[in-house]
Structure 1
Amino acid sequence: MTVRRAALIAALAAMAGAQTVQAAPAPGPASNRAPCLDNSDVEAIVTYALPSAMGSAMSACAPHLSPQGFFAREGQGLLTRYAAAKPAAWPHAKAALLKLAQQGGTGANGKIDPTIASMAHLPDTALQPFADGMVGQLVSERLKPDQCGALEMATRLLAPLPPGNTAALVGFVLHLTAPRPGTTGAPVGKSGLPLCPTDL
């Protein structure tokens, strides 16, 4: 899985479930386990991605929503409040995204693709704008006009929560609705984040 794909999924999940995310199957022996995201990983990614995702969604939805609606009246204030949580979330979010990128960039010989490996050594001043740009671009590409009304309502309902609580709620819902061992569900791959098994 690439950073681009991970950023997209995190952004869409944060923006009220535009894409369903499934959990990974129960892991095998420790030596064969692929990297997975625990609750704290998901929360960090969502906390970091949320302002870029929301800003892009608000811009894309502006022509399709009332100029007196929630986004128009209170959207910018909400973005400012969420953006304040980004710096603290970045180190953990970066580690989680690189973990996913390394998983998707590992070849048959077990070696990590040099391009993926080099990302870990990029300065934050280069990697953060890349991540923000990918989130914004991908939300714009995937968001449909007929989703804007529901998205605005969902954002209004979540707005009173602190950013950390919003991210924790997203992670909780993703894990709660993920398939359990012995159940069926869409396989993790191009369309989902590999979530670590939980006791939820």
Structure 2
Amino acid sequence: MKRLAALLALVAMPTAARAQTPCLTASDAEAIALVAMPDIIRETGRICTALPPSSLVRRPSSAFLARYDAAADSAWPAARAAIVKLSDPAVDLLLQSDYARPLLTSIFAPQIVGRVQPADCPTIDRLVTLLEPLPARNTAGIIVATLQYLKARKARGKQVAVVPDLPVCAAVSQ
């Protein structure tokens, strides 16, 4: 129980407390995105009930989602290392628990998907359908590159949509 409380404290740590932490490389951020994507897709399907049941986000079990689950499993060691990089090396022991990953994704997925409005669902459905043929790693790369682009625009004072506060390094050749 102490480990669970410590992990929750890490996740809930205010942004200001993490201000001195290093940024994530694109690979780090992609690993975290890959780990979170299956739960984000499932959570989106629960919100987008107006979409047809055949929609990729509405099918809780499908070859599409199985690919993302497999990619998430493969990405977990790198994602865990990225989370440790952002926090404290002692957190690594906590993240080795079988409960750490489901706990983290169950916290983050609703935070991300909670911004989705039912009117957004047709656009999300189209985007997911267009991305479906790509490997999960490519989709994660597109998400991270988009976040980097939006953060750069915001840093230049441009108007942008809400950008999640994932400390991704500025886009550079990596």
Q: Distance in 1 between matches of 2:59 and 2:97?
A: 33
Q: Displacement, 1:198?
A: 3.2
1:95 aligns with 2:73: no
In the superposition, the TM-score normalised over structure 1's length comes to 0.64
Q: CA deviation at 1:183?
A: 2.7
Whole-angstrom CA distance in 2 between matches of 1:130 and 1:39: 23
Q: 1:68 to 1:170 in 2, by over 3 A?
A: closer
Decide which of 23, 28, 35 is 1:48's aligned counterpart: 35
Pair 162,197 (structure 1): closer, same or farther in 2 beyond 3 Å: same
Q: Distance in 1 between matches of 2:13 and 2:124?
A: 21
Q: Give the letter for the 1:164 counterpart.
A: R
Which amino acid in 2 is paired with 1:99? Answer: K
Contact 1:3 1:97 in 2 (8 A): no
Q: Give the match for residue 86 of structure 1.
A: 72
TM-score (normalizing by structure 2): 0.72
The match for 1:198 is 171
Aligned-pair RMSD on alpha carbons? 3.4
1:153 aligned partner: 126
**Cα deviation code 1:91-133 (max 9, x no counterpart):** 1111222333x2xxxxxxxxx7xxxx76432233021121121
Q: For 1:87 and 1:70, locate their aligned partners in 2 and report how far apart those are by CA, in whole Å.
A: 20
Aligned sequence identity (%) = 29
Kept in 1: contact 2:41–2:57 (CA 8 A): no
The question of 1:125 aligning with 2:111 is answered: no
Cα distance change on mapping 1:174 and 1:136 into 2, 3 Å: closer
Match of 2:114 in 1: 141
Q: Deviating runs (4+, > 4 A) in structure 1?
A: 72-75
Between 1 and 2, higher relative CO (CA 8 Å, sep ≥ 6) is seen in 1
Instruction: Please say if 1:164 is aligned against 2:137.
Output: yes
Q: Return the letter of the residue paired with 1:3.
A: V
Query: 1-side partners of 2:132 and 2:28: how far apart?
Result: 22
Determine if contact 2:152/2:170 at 8 Å carries over to the other structure. Answer: no
Match in the other structure for 2:48: 61
Unaligned runs of 5+ in 1: 7-31, 103-111
> Any stretches of 5+ residues in structure 2 without a counterpart?
1-8
